[in-house]
Amino acid sequence: MKRLSAAEIATAVNGELYGIDPESLLSAGVVTDSREVGPGDIYVARRGENFDGIEFAAAAVEAGAALVIGESVPTVDDNPLPTVLVADATEALGQLARRSVEALRETGELRVIAITGSVGKTTVKDLTADLLAGAGPTVWPPNSYNNEVGVPLTALRADEETQFLVLEMGARSIGNLAYLTSLIRPDIAVELAVGTAHSGVFGSIDNTARAKAELVESLVAGSTAVLNADDSRVAAMREVLAADVETLWFSQRESLPEWVGADDRIVRATGISTDSSGHPSFALHLPGEEPQEVRLALVGEHHVGNALAAAAVAFACGVGVKSIVTTLATSSAASRWRMELIDSPSGVTVLNDAYNANPESMRASLKTLAAMGRGDEDSRPRRTFAVLGEMLELGDESVSAHSDIGELVVRLNITRTIVVGEGAKPIFNAANLEGSWGNEATWVATVAEAKELLGAELAPGDIVLFKSSRDAGLRYLGDDIAGVSGAQ
């Protein structure tokens, strides 16, 4: 956080000071969990559905917190603890992040990169951070900190030395991104894709597109919009850009879409292929540079688009082509359960992609599994297992979306499909109707039943994919089968 006085903080969050010298300077961390407080930190006592953070204020101060931001003034022995009294602690957190970033921009060379999209946000955030970290001090969220709490907390980790602040921004309703960008305006905004994820929340894919467009609408003159040329809804966002906002496209099509002009700048991949280990290779084309051959450390052809988006950001920030190529070839999944490839002690290869799921990412994961199972001139074919759970928040499209996946597993010749949970059952039903025979597809009600089946059937050399939305719990089963320490 930018060093600010207690009085400056109170002004920034529209609060009133108690129990602290207004001239006291604060520049340590900002936390919302009293258990994470360190010496000199600011503790933001948020009020949740099942807790009131102000109840832990005394413990936070005892642990070293220099200031509490809360909706009431906590006391010890009738003496007020050092507090900024505010109307809404969560809003105050955002206002403090806004003031800190504004102050850092006034005194330094901070550039803010914000990333959104229905799929790929976390992977692109991690890749982008890796690419920029070699060019200067970079701050990014360790996990999917992409909401009204996570984005400000990440921004408040930036200090006077930070050159790049990489933010992941999510939306669950129209207005979410407008709010987040009102707090921290990006210099570079990345639009990955408009898909069916959360369509049950937004009501339609067009509403999803409208919500996602709020990110690039926040850009001002001199900023850059990094847009996916292969997604027509993202491409249409060029029409909402303010004057003098630069567009930098990325595409993995061999033939460019009609809306990309001959003079437009674009980051491209051509000659895409995937080897038997699931790693994609392609020729990377950066504006004004000779094509460079890249083999991603990430697993799955769908990561080509993610790599292009991250490379576009790095290019816009002045990172050299050799550094971009080298980093893409060595940067693996930094966040858990995103196409995480693990060779288990039992000889089974586990592909754990069960943190998030929507129809687009489910199809991509299954195609990667099928490609890995086919083998090539250097490896023999392998049996493929797909353990699939429910894709949540699809609304009225849920049954048809799951049914489409059931048809796909048959067409891809997946050796064995185990469908887990009532919500995912249409996958199993559709697989049977599509032509699955014998026990190629099985439905079980619980994760425990799936574990029992896998224990009886998996053999050394097999590949097993775990894919579902987070709340289905399959990521922990994947850890268990992979022999990952701490699996639940």
Annotated binding site: 117-123
Structure token pair of residue 338? 């995103």
- Let me know the angle formed at the C-alpha of 197 by 153 and 124, rounded to the nearest 5 degrees: 50
Question: Which are the contacts of 474, defined by CB distance < 8 A and separation ≥ 6?
Answer: 354, 387, 388, 389, 420, 447, 450, 466, 467, 468
Buried b (16+ CB within 10 A) or exposed e, 113-128: bbbbbbbbbbbbbbbb
- Residue 310 contacts residue 323 (beta carbons within 8 Å): no
Place of tokens 């879409």: 257
If we measure between CA atoms, which residue out of 16, 22, 21, 27 comes closest to residue 100? 27
Rounded CA separation 334/122 (Å): 9
Dihedral angle at the C-alpha atoms of 146, 148, 154, 159, nearest 10 degrees? 150
- Residue 67 contacts residue 43 (beta carbons within 8 Å): yes
Longest dimension (CA), the chain: 77
If we measure between CA atoms, which residue out of 432, 447, 454, 437 comes closest to residue 385? 454
DSSP category for residue 241? P
Rounded CA separation 174/202 (Å): 8
Rounded CA separation 431/361 (Å): 18
Please state the residue numbers annotated as binding site for ATP.
117-123
Element spanning 407, H or E: helix 398-411
Q: What are phi and psi of 458, to 5 degrees?
A: -65, 145
If we measure between CA atoms, which residue out of 49, 44, 40 comes closest to residue 32? 44
